[in-house]
């Protein structure tokens, strides 16, 4: 199933959301931003996202917990993580669960573009697969 070029950015830091949103939109993607994992889970577009870009550490549900939750619900959407507090155990857990990238803030825009280029443009990642 072909997905729209719809990307979710989930980060509690408004400046990171805005900067990342601007970069990703400039590449031709449609972007929806969310201030928390819980807000993301309320989206009516969960089946439509090509990729989720999420901060690892957020109040409430972390980015990795969001990935785990979606995997448990049958969603195979690729994740790109970013964090200001790198932790090798968390990195290993995220990558083992299928994350495409695990970036340390501040990250270079070109590195983020490389991660997005690694996202499959066509996939069967919806719930129930």
DSSP for 52-88, please give it.
Answer: EEEES--SSS-HHHHHHHHHHTT----EEEEESS--H
Q: Which of the following CATH numbers is that of domain 6-117: 3.60.15.10, 3.30.70.360, 3.40.50.2300, 3.20.20.450?
A: 3.40.50.2300
Is residue 126 very low, low, confident or very high in pLDDT (cuts 50, 70, 90)?
A: very low
**pTM of the full structure:** 0.90
pLDDT for 97-112, tens place per residue?
889 999 998 888 999 9
- How far, in whole angstroms, is CA 89 from its chain's centroid? 19
Q: Confirm if 5 and 30 have CB atoms less than 8 A apart.
A: yes
* Number of DSSP helices (H) and strands (E) in the chain, helices first: 5, 5
Tell me how far apart the alpha carbons of residues 3 and 68 are, in angstroms, rounded to a whole number: 21
pLDDT for 57-77, tens place per residue?
999 999 999 999 999 999 999
């Amino acid at each position: 199933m072909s997905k729209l070029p719809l990307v979710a950015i989930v980060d509690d830091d408004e400046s990171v959301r805005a900067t990342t949103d601007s970069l990703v939109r400039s590449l031709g993607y449609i972007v929806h931003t969310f201030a928390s994992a819980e807000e993301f889970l309320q989206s009516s577009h969960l089946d439509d996202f090509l990729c989720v870009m999420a901060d690892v550490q957020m109040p409430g549900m972390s980015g990795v917990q969001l990935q785990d939750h979606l995997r448990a619900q049958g969603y195979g959407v690729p994740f790109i993580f970013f964090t200001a507090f790198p932790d090798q155990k968390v990195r290993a857990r995220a990558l083992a669960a299928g994350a495409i990238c695990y970036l340390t803030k501040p990250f270079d825009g070109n590195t983020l573009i490389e991660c997005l280029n690694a996202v499959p443009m066509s996939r069967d990642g919806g719930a129930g697969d």
